Structure 1
Amino acid sequence: MLVTGCASTVGAEPLDGPGARRVDGDPFAGLAPCDDQPFVAVFRGFTAEGEQAEQPGSSPSSDIYGVRPDGSVSPVTTDLGSYEFGIADDAATVYASPTSVVGPTAALAPTADRVVAIYPATGRWTVVLEASDVGGVSPAPDGSRLGLTVFTAGGPTGAGASVPAVVDLPAEAAPRSLPPAAATSRAEPVAVATRELAWSPDGRRLAFVTTLPDATQEVRVTDLASGASTAVHRSDATVALLSLDWSPDGTTLLTVEGGAPTGSGGARDRAVEIDVATGRSATVLRGVHGDLVYSAADGSRLTALDNGPEGSAVARTWSRTAGGRFVTTSEAPIGTEVGVVSADRLDIPRCALR
C-alpha cells in the first residue's frame, strides 16, 4: 500500500539582492578525514577521452574518482569501465560493477558481471561476486552485505525486469531478490525497473526507486528482517526520480524529482525530503541539477555535482538555515587537474560526515 501525505514547499534563498548568502569555493570543507583512508567522497567522472570511446547506443565511458580531504581529485579506476559503485561507511572499500556497454540482447540472454572490491588506500582489487547483469551496487553500512540491482528475463511485460537484490559478504550464495520482484498484492503492479539503492544508517532497511509499467515511479523501502516492502512516495509519469539518499538519522529520504524544462528552458527539478514513517514530503530546493546527497551528520547540508560551462564539472553545497531553507554556500570546479569534463553520482561515506 502506498503511504501518502501532503506536500509542503521550502524555497531556496536568493544568491543576490537583500538577504543574499556568501558563496565560498570549498564545497568539501565540511567533510572530515576518515582515519587513514585517502578519500572523503567518490564520484563518477567523464573525460574527453571517455566521450571519444563511446560506442553507438551506449553511454560515455567513465571512471570512478576520489575526493581527498583538501578537495583535490585522484582516479580510483582508469579503464573507462562505466562503473556503478558505492563506498563503504568507513571509506576503506569501494564496491563497483561496470555497466554493460550494450544492454540485454533481444533474446534476453543475461550477461555475467563482476562486482569488485577496490581498496583506495592500496589500489588493490578483488572480485567478490559474479552475477547476471548487475546494475546498481550499494554496500550496507557495516560492510556485511551488498544491495544490487539485477536483471531477470521474462518480467511482467515479457521483456525482463531489473529488480533489487541483496547478497551477503563474502558472497557464498547468489543474490536473493527483494520485493517488488513480484507484486505484493493483486492491486499493485509488478515493477519493471529498479534504481537508486540506498541503505538506512542502521542497515535494517533498503530503499530504492522502482519504475512501474505505466511509467510512474515509486520510492520503496524494504525491511530486510521481515521482507515487507512499502511505497513511501510516488511520482507521476512526467517526473523522474533521479537520486536517493537517507538522512543520517534514518528518518528521511532525499530524492530529486526531474521534470521537463519550462518553456523558457528553466529547470523544473526539485529536491524533496520524504518522512519515511508518514510518507509526507516537502520540497526543500528548486532548480537543482545532479544527484543530491546529505553531507553533514545532522542533515543540514546537501552536496551535488553538476556540469559547468565549457566542459567542466562543478561541486555545489547547500546549507539549511534556521528557517528550514536551503541556500547555496559553496561552489567550485572539481576534477580539472585530472581532465574531468563532467561528473555525477557523488557518494559520501558516513565517516566523513560531521
Structure 2
Amino acid sequence: MGQLIDGVWHDNWYDTKSTGGKFVRSNAGFRNWVTADGSAGPSGEGGFKSESGRYHLYVSYACPWAHRTLIYRAIKELEGHIDISVVHPDMLSDGWTFSTDFPGATGDMLKGHDFLRQVYTDAVPDISGRVTVPVLWDKERGTIVSNESSEIIRMFNSAFDGITGNTDDYWPEDLRQDIEVVNERVYNGFNNGVYKAGFATSQSAYDEAVHGVLDTMDWLEDLLSRQRYLTGERITEADWRLLPTLLRFDPVYHLHFKCNRRRLIDYANLWPYARELYQFLNVRSTVYPEHYVRHYHYSHETINPNRIIPINPIIDWDEPHGRD
C-alpha cells in the first residue's frame, strides 16, 4: 500500500512506529456527492447530478470497503447505469493495478490505465495521499466524485431512485440515529478492528485490537438473539456495512489477521444472519472469495513473507439460513 506524494508514487507501508505499533487508517480525500438534482451534498461541491451512464466505479473484489458499493449497486439495480472496472487482487509495489491475468480482473474499462494511481492523478496531477478503492469517477467532469465508501453507498441508496424506480431505502429517516450508533461500534470494533489486529506491530496493540473484535462479535451475537437485524426488523445500511467483513472473516481474518478465538460459523445467531444477507436478492453475485483470499495472503508480505495461499475451509453460504 504505497502512496502518492505531489503526484509521484512512493512504495511505502503504513508507519506504525510512530503510533506504538497501532494501525491508523487514512481518511478519504474526495468527498463530493451525486444527488438527484446535482446540488451539493453534505460535503464537497455541487454539479454531480445523477444520470444513467455518467459515472464509473473502480473497485476491488477483495476490498471490503469497495464491496459495500458493489452490494448497493446490485440491490439498488444500478448495474445498467454505473459501469465498473475491477483491479487485480495482488497489491504489491505498484499498489492496485489493472493487470488482467486473474479471473474477474477487468483492466481499466474506462481509461485503459495500468495503475489505479493514474486515475487519481487524472483528477489531481499533484495529489498526495493513499490510492484506495472504491473510486467513483464522473465521466462528464473528468474527476473523482468520491473515494469514501460510506458516502458512496448513501448516494446509491437514493440519488438514482428516479432513474431506476427502485425506492428501497436502507437509510430510513426514523432509524438513522440507531444506524449511526451501530455503525460506529461495528466500524471501530469489527470492520476496521480486524485490520488493527492484523496490521499491529506490537503485542499490546494486537491484544487491544483483537479483544475489541471478539467483544464486538459477542455483542452482535447477543443483539441478533433478540432481533432479526441490527436495528430491528428491517434490513438497513448497518447490516450491509457489516456483511463484507463477515464474508471475509473465516477465510481471511481468522487466520491471516490472527482473530482466531472463534470462527463466524461458531456463532448460533451471527452465522445464519450472515447467510441470510448473502442470499438476499443478487448479493451473492458481488462475492468473489478467490479475490480476497489471494489478495490478503499474497499482498501482505510483512504478515505472510512466503506468500503461501492457504486451502481454507469449505463454507456453504447457500445453506438455508432458517430465519424465515
TM over 0.5: no
Where is the helix percentage greater, Structure 1 or Structure 2? 2
Where is the strand percentage greater, Structure 1 or Structure 2? 1
